[in-house]
């Protein structure tokens, strides 16, 4: 194998290990989204109508379970935590993509692949 492809492989290996290390450093991961909701109840003499002070905020975590949408109400502390874990999950997906792409690049560097 040429030293050019050796260099390339070494670089790819480095990228791969870097992505793996980032995955290892990740905290908890969960799917879904968190939304902040505030609303007017519609009662004419409620403060939400008379003074414009909305109800809430309420935090709602939405995710799919077996293809069905599930909503869970959260307090602000839990909402913070869940948002962070969702963010971790997105990072995890990205990093998994990097592992795949890097692996594919390694395969292409030392394998002849003919499309059939």
Q: In whole angstroms, give the CA distance from residue 37 to residue 22.
A: 33
Q: In whole angstroms, give the CA distance from residue 78 to residue 55.
A: 19
Nearer to Zn ion, 49 or 72 (CB): 49
Secondary structure (3-state) at 68: strand
Based on the shown chain and the rule CB under 5 A, indicate whether residue 76 belongs to the binding site for Zn ion: no
Based on the shown chain and the rule CB under 5 A, indicate whether residue 54 belongs to the binding site for Zn ion: no
Single residue of 18, 46, 96, 107 touching Zn ion by CB under 5 A: 46
Nearer to Zn ion, 55 or 64 (CB): 55
Q: In whole angstroms, give the CA distance from residue 65 to residue 55.
A: 29
Based on the shown chain and the rule CB under 5 A, indicate whether residue 48 belongs to the binding site for Zn ion: yes
Binding positions for Zn ion, rule: CB under 5 A: 41, 46, 48
């Amino acid at each position: 194998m040429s030293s050019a492809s050796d260099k390339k492989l070494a670089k790819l290996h480095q990228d791969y290990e870097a992505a793996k290390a980032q995955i290892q450093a990740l905290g908890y991961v969960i799917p879904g989204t968190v939304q902040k909701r505030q609303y007017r109840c519609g009662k004419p003499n409620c403060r939400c109508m008379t003074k414009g002070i909305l109800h809430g905020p309420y935090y709602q975590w939405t995710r799919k379970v077996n293809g069905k949408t599930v909503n869970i109400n959260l307090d602000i502390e839990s909402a913070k935590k869940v948002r962070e874990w969702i963010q971790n999950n997105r990072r995890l997906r990205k990093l998994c993509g990097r592992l795949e792409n890097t692996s594919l690049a390694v395969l292409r560097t030392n394998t002849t692949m003919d499309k059939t």
